[in-house]
Amino acid sequence: MIIVAKVLSILVPLLVGVAYFTLGERKLIASIQRRRGPNVIGYIGVLQPLADGLKLFVKESIFPSHANTLLFVLAPLWTFFLSLVVWAVVPFREGAVLCDIDLGILYLFAVSSLGVYGILTSGWASNSKYAFLGALRSAAQMVSYEVSLGFVLAALILSLGTFNLSQIVYAQQEVWLALPHLPLLGIFAVSALAETNRHPFDLPEAEAELVSGYNVEYSAIGFALFFLGEYANMLLMCALISLLFLGGWLYVGLGVKICLWVIFFIWIRAALPRYRYDQLMRLGWKVFLPLSLGWLILTFGLLLSVNGLPQ
């Protein structure tokens, strides 16, 4: 029962946070565009996410003809499941973590890499060319930017000598890693946008070309699960940036830092135009990959010159 209570203490606030992330996004973008945004359901629209969720969960699910029904149903479930289990190793404050394992970063990287399979499966099982092209784009994009993210994490791990997220936070009591590793913070933040298929890198969901991408054939609860998984992954990236570069819960609460990065994600969507696909791949492979690899080599060289070879 204690484990169940701990799991619920993470999942319930997470799902509520995802719901009101969508409301905050719509309100902030409306403010940037000088309009009201949701303001009918509840006081100033505060109940709008609950109304949207209820509508999606009670609607009838529509299955495309000639689709692989089993895989079509499993794909959003898989994506949603992975977006939840990855939070097991995220420390919210001192001692407030479900599984404080020593290989926390490797767990995060392994679980997040599995998300590609849910998107590929949804595109293939939908029996739609638009969905399949969107799934291929998304998979190529996620794999491309995971390489840069891996080198960024490798440089941080090399600097601190630990994979444990709590230990990484404790190591930033004197100085946040954002100061000595400022270029990595920029690479990680932009790669997080691409990893979550977020604007300006939302090419898998390009309305002008692919209608809605890999989830074009989904409706009702299937679409809701993809939607929840995508926004939960965005919150995870905001939490990771705060933990790895900004000292986690130190000095200022982790929730405040996550909210600031959420505002950054929303502002980017409102301010920047969408990249072309060739620009997206060029940025990942020809800019971020050499930069992150070069910074890793520089970090290794500096540590080697200071500490010498291990005995």
Does residue 257 lie within any of the structural domains?
Answer: yes
Residue 309 has pLDDT above 70, yes or no: no
Does residue 201 lie within any of the structural domains?
Answer: yes
Measured between alpha carbons, how far is 52 from 57 in angstroms, rounded to an integer?
9
Does residue 125 lie within any of the structural domains?
Answer: yes
Output the pLDDT for position 305: 83
Measured between alpha carbons, how far is 222 from 233 in angstroms, rounded to an integer?
17
Query: How many domains are there within the chain?
Result: 1
Does residue 255 lie within any of the structural domains?
Answer: yes
Does residue 105 lie within any of the structural domains?
Answer: yes
Q: Is 237 exposed, middle or buried (0-12, 13-18, 19+ CB in 10 A)?
A: buried
Does residue 26 lie within any of the structural domains?
Answer: no
Locate all alpha helices (DSSP H) within the chain, ordered by sequence: 2-32, 48-58, 69-85, 104-113, 115-125, 129-160, 165-170, 182-195, 207-210, 220-245, 254-271, 277-282, 289-307
Does residue 22 lie within any of the structural domains?
Answer: no
Range(s) of the domain holding residue 118 = 60-307
Predicted structure pTM score: 0.90
Output the pLDDT for position 295: 92
pLDDT tens for 193-239 read 888 888 888 776 666 565 667 788 888 888 888 888 888 999 999 99
Is the Cβ–Cβ distance between 271 and 122 less than 8 Å? no
- CA dist list (Å): 50 to 16, 142, 204: 9, 30, 27
Does residue 146 lie within any of the structural domains?
Answer: yes
